[in-house]
């Protein structure tokens, strides 16, 4: 039997890109005002760069606390953690050697408009926007903001794209992003709006339901562009406050109506398995529903018993008793995102478990994983004797790359059962030829 704790999940599903900060300040708050009359302005950063060994000044922000997900119900399959998004590399821009980052005035102050030669330093600011330290990232957002009004549209695009990748850390540039969202250049406007959408997701974690509802209403105004946070809208549909659930459902209907109707049925309707099957038919258009599907894979008892008709054909076959839910869930995920790394990890783990083995083998050729990892899972499966013919047949297909299985296969050639001896002999020949 499958160990019920072997795949237990620790939390409700996480959004694909949970880039907010629970304790972040209002991302749309105005920037710090200019110095009062009579106070000398700070020197031009081009003339007085900060010394590398200078101690941090009073504008240094404390690092935000880590977000700790709430505990959730356990189940037989654990969903691997979601890897953080990796920002695309930015190509070099010709120019002199970058100068040091200009100093800031206050924690969310926007840097002065770039002067002559300042555009050449944008790459340094972009690198800083990906720094592990939140203080450095937030300062980078402030120094990137002025580039959103640069005369060169290529520079504006780089700044807007970098800010859109920063999530809640882009808050110091919120005012500049509001203006850039209306930029004449299509790409600048698109990236700026995406950055603003990510900033709105900060309030989806607000303690006050009214703030969560307002954030959902604002996200809905971006319609299809807000599909980048569609998974967070789905998560909000099970908020503990009914009014938030309604606002989330209405927002998702405006953002992705094709997915919303099936998600609503899965969460609140009766024909849950039919809706899950319909999500699979949407293919990659239903990608925002993946966190929800992985959650159900980790907690299959949250769903009604699956009808046997949903089991995949061929080697996948049918699975037993309370594990029947895995067949339709795996089948749906494989149609939406067959190359998803989380799905690959689940399939490899299923191969190792006796009751899920045939289902895992059925999807081995679907997932994107190293052959060595597939062979390793099959070798583990070969050791317990369950579904042994399916395992040996799968190993044959990897030829010489299945060499790690040879010691066990050669032992099976000495089995007292004719069928096992013959299957092992054939597998050894295929691997050694």
- Does the pLDDT of residue 308 top 90, yes or no? no
Average pLDDT over residues 203-219: 97
- Per-residue burial over 234-248, b if 16 or more Cβ lie within 10 Å, else e, is bbbbebeeeebbebb
- Give the per-residue pLDDT at 21: 44
How far, in Å, CA of 393 to CA of 307, rounded? 28
The mean predicted confidence, pLDDT, of the chain is: 79
296 contacts 267 by C-beta, under 8 angstroms: no
- Does the pLDDT of residue 36 top 60, yes or no? no
122 contacts 93 by C-beta, under 8 angstroms: yes
- Does the pLDDT of residue 283 top 70, yes or no? yes
- Does the pLDDT of residue 243 top 90, yes or no? yes
How far, in Å, CA of 429 to CA of 420, rounded? 14
8 contacts 78 by C-beta, under 8 angstroms: yes
- Judged on CB neighbours under 10 Å (0-12, 13-18, 19+), 411 is exposed
Choose the weakest-confidence range: 185-189, 312-316, 323-327: 312-316
User: Any residues with CB less than 8 A from the CB of 200 and at least 6 apart, and which?
Assistant: 27, 215, 218, 219, 229
Choose the weakest-confidence range: 12-26, 288-302, 354-368: 12-26
- Give the per-residue pLDDT at 65: 41
128 contacts 136 by C-beta, under 8 angstroms: yes
- Does the pLDDT of residue 309 top 80, yes or no? no
Tokens linked to 425: 């002999």
Residue 42: how many other CB atoms lie within 10 Å: 14
Confidence band, pLDDT 50/70/90 cuts, at residue 17:
low
Axis-axis angle for helices 209-220, 242-255 (nearest 10): 10
Confidence band, pLDDT 50/70/90 cuts, at residue 412:
very high
Tokens linked to 419: 């069928």
Question: Does an H or E element contain 179, and which?
Answer: helix 174-180
- Give the per-residue pLDDT at 114: 54
How far, in Å, CA of 317 to CA of 311, rounded? 6
Average pLDDT over residues 184-208: 97
Max avg pLDDT among 87-101, 318-332, 340-354: 340-354
Who has greater pLDDT, 20 or 196? Answer: 196
Who has greater pLDDT, 67 or 6? Answer: 6
Q: Which DSSP string corresponds to 34-95? A: PPPTTSPPPPPTTTSPPPTTPPP-TTPPPPPPPP-PPB----S-PPPPPPPP-PPPPPP--S
Average pLDDT over residues 159-179: 97
SS3 308: helix
Average pLDDT over residues 84-99: 40
Residue 123: how many other CB atoms lie within 10 Å: 17
Average pLDDT over residues 241-257: 97
- pLDDT digit string (tens) for 108-151? 444 555 554 555 689 999 999 999 999 999 999 999 999 999 99
Average pLDDT over residues 396-421: 94
The conformational region for residue 134 under phi > 0 = left, psi -120 to 50 = alpha, else beta, is alpha
- Does the pLDDT of residue 395 top 80, yes or no? yes
- Does the pLDDT of residue 87 top 50, yes or no? no
How far, in Å, CA of 97 to CA of 120, rounded? 8
User: Any residues with CB less than 8 A from the CB of 120 and at least 6 apart, and which?
Assistant: 93, 94, 95, 96, 98
Average pLDDT over residues 381-410: 94
- Give the per-residue pLDDT at 119: 59
How far, in Å, CA of 66 to CA of 180, rounded? 30
149 contacts 137 by C-beta, under 8 angstroms: no
- Does the pLDDT of residue 302 top 60, yes or no? yes
- Give the per-residue pLDDT at 301: 86
How far, in Å, CA of 433 to CA of 426, rounded? 11
Confidence band, pLDDT 50/70/90 cuts, at residue 300:
confident
């Amino acid at each position: 039997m499958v160990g019920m704790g072997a795949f237990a999940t620790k939390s409700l599903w996480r959004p694909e890109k949970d880039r907010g900060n629970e304790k972040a300040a209002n991302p749309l708050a105005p920037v710090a005002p200019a110095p009062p009359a009579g106070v000398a302005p700070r020197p031009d950063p081009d003339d007085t760069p900060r010394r590398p060994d200078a101690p941090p000044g009073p504008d240094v922000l404390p690092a935000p606390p880590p977000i700790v997900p709430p505990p959730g119900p356990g189940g037989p399959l654990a969903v691997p953690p979601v890897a953080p998004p990796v920002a695309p590399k930015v190509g070099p821009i010709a120019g002199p050697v970058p100068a040091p980052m200009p100093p800031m005035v206050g924690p969310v102050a926007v840097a002065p408009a770039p002067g002559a030669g300042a555009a050449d330093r944008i790459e340094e600011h972009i690198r800083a926007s990906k720094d592990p330290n939140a203080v450095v990232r937030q300062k980078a957002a402030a120094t990137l903001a002025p580039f959103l009004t640069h005369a060169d549209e290529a520079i504006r695009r780089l700044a807007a794209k970098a800010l859109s990748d920063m999530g809640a850390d882009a808050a110091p540039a919120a005012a500049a992003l509001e203006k850039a969202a209306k930029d004449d250049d299509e790409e600048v406007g698109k990236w700026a709006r995406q950055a603003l959408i990510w900033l709105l997701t900060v309030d989806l974690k607000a303690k006050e339901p009214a703030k969560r509802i307002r954030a959902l209403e604002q996200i809905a105004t971006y319609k299809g562009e807000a599909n980048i946070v569609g998974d967070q809208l789905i998560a909000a549909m099970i908020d503990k406050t009914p009014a938030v659930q309604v606002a989330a459902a209405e927002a998702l209907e405006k953002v992705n109506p094709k997915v919303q109707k099936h998600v609503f049925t899965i969460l609140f309707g009766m024909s849950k398995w039919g809706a899950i099957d319909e999500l699979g038919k949407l293919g990659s258009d239903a990608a925002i529903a993946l966190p929800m599907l992985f959650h159900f894979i980790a907690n299959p008892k949250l769903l009604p018993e699956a009808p046997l008709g949903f089991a995949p054909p061929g080697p996948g076959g049918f699975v037993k008793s309370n594990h029947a839910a895995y067949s339709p869930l795996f089948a749906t995920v494989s149609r939406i995102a067959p190359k998803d790394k989380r799905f690959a990890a689940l399939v490899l783990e299923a191969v190792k478990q006796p009751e899920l083995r045939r289902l895992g083998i059925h999807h081995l050729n679907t997932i994107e994983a190293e052959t060595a990892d597939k062979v390793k899972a099959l070798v583990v499966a070969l050791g317990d004797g369950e579904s042994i013919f399916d395992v040996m047949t799968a190993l044959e297909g990897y030829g010489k790359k299945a060499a790690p299985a040879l010691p066990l296969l050669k032992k099976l050639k000495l089995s007292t059962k004719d069928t096992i001896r013959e299957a092992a002999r054939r597998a050894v020949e295929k691997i050694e030829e």
